[in-house]
Amino acid sequence: MYPQSNNPSFFVDIKPFLFALFYLLFIFSGMIKWMSIWVLDPAILMFGFLMMLYFLFPTRVKFNKKIQFVLLFYLLLMAWILFATVYTPSLDYYKEKLFKTAIMSVGLFLPFFFIDSKEDIKYIIPIINVIAFITASVYIYIYITEGSLDRILYDEEIVLKYPRYAGVSLTAAAGVVVNLTKNSPKFIAFKVYLLLGIILAGSRGPFALLLVMMMIYYLSNYIKSPKKLILFSVVLVTGMVLFLSWPGNERIMERFDIMKGGDEGDNTSVQLREEHWSKSSDIIGKHPILGAGYGSYGIVAFQTDDRYAPHNIFLEIFVETGIIGFLILGAFWWALFKVLFECYKSPDNTAAVYGLMTALVFYFCVSFFSIYFSDSKYLFGFVGMFLAVYNNELNSMQNQYILEDSLTSE
């Protein structure tokens, strides 16, 4: 990549800010559609703003070979998905799903055209923090004023006026994971506030995953003596007691409780997932090589040409594109995590880079139990931002090697 040095400093600084704002609203757009201010779909609107920003500040992109290797698998997957629409039994929904997949793919590549250096991501985490704070505050405010979330969860007249709990939990969780390594009192208070919003939203999976990631981080980085382990245990037990005695835990405890199952016929989310996975296994058995066709899961599993998926992107791809698509997707993640671990070892990483990597890992884990492939803009958005940053670092290292070789030869 080639930095733009001929622009006034004000515009050089405002470019990363506007990119961060527009791009984060783009990847989180599926969670903010409920707001009535949007004339167009926010994803399309933000994409338009990003294109205008690019034309104002054009950037030439040079893809490093390591990054090319990762992106090659993604392009192969997109090509195979396109082929899988040829034989899909879906008549209508596959078009919508293919469009969403195209938007998601555009989102993965967009950061390469805006990120010239690590300085260009300096506004990413602050804006994530603002978005996370706002979404968590929605449920906290309603709980304080209403004393319960039942109205926005179950009242059909007003349920569309507020974001769904999944949207709240996944955006608020972003604020927790990107600040995982920051442990000053103000950041600890901020993360507790976001966790409070997630608890009130009652989203079990992201909440449990956040707790696991936080425990692993703190145990591996701070608990290095018996004294600290005892102190950590006391804090943990105290926190659990306070949580269990707090009336606000009702929603999330109810969500955890139904995982144990209920009366016959109860459609708990766990039972629904078991049904999805059972049907997926049957479909894979009938269509192991090519899959049933992209966007076909609803019509094959439930005889309805609508938005259905087995709540696992690997299983979803296996069902609809066969073992070939599944292996390509696996190869993409293998190549991606290979460069991610390589980047993690770099001594030059900033807090923002670590934040991107942590968020990427979090959303990757969520993809095993919660999200749909074509709705994964936020997952692949963080993939795109990480790859763009590391692409620049690799290019800088390569240029440095070339310069050193030329000086040595002289």
CA distance 193 to 49: 32
Please, what sign has the CA dihedral across residues 4, 8, 12, 18? negative
* 63 secondary structure, DSSP code: -
Low-confidence ranges of the chain (pLDDT < 50): 1-6, 8, 156, 158-160, 259-260, 262-267
Q: What is the pLDDT of residue 125?
A: 94
- Position of tokens 């016929």? 265
Provide the 8-state DSSP code for 1: -
Q: Quick one: DSSP state of residue 303?
A: S
Q: pLDDT tens digit string along 341-400?
A: 998 888 777 888 888 999 999 999 988 887 789 889 999 999 999 999 999 988 887 776
Half-sphere exposure of 385 (CA within 13 A, CB side): 29
DSSP 8-state secondary structure symbol assigned to residue 91 = S
Residue 382 near residue 115 (C-beta atoms within 8 A): no
Long-range CB contacts (within 8 A, 24+) of 144-152: 149/200, 149/201, 149/202, 149/251
Number of neighbouring beta carbons within 10 Å of residue 137: 17
Decide: residue 9, CB within 10 A, 0-12 exposed, 13-18 middle, 19+ buried. Answer: exposed
The pairs formed by 150-156 with CB atoms below 8 angstroms and a separation of 24 or more are 153/202, 153/251
Helix (H, G, I), strand (E, B) or coil at 311: coil
What 3-state DSSP class applies to 305? Answer: coil
The per-residue pLDDT for 164 is: 60
Q: Provide the pLDDT for residue 113.
A: 93
Q: Judging by beta carbons within 10 Å of its beta carbon (0-12, 13-18, 19+), is residue 146 exposed, middle or buried?
A: exposed
- Going from N- to C-terminal start, the domains of the chain cover 9-259+274-409
pTM exceeds 0.75: yes
pLDDT at 213: 85
Determine whether 102 is exposed, middle or buried from the number of CB atoms within 10 Å of its CB (0-12, 13-18, 19+).
middle
At residue 51, what is the residue type? M
What is the per-residue DSSP string for 347-393? TT--HHHHHHHHHHHHHHHHTTTT--GGG-HHHHHHHHHHHHHHHHH
Q: How far apart are CA 186 and CA 213, in angstroms?
A: 20
Return d(Cα 184, Cα 261) in angstroms, integer.
41
Report how far residue 354's alpha carbon sits from residue 336's, in angstroms, rounded to the nearest whole number. Answer: 15
Among candidate residues 210, 256, 218, 221, the one with its CA nearest the CA of residue 365: 210
Give strand ranges (E) for 252-362: none
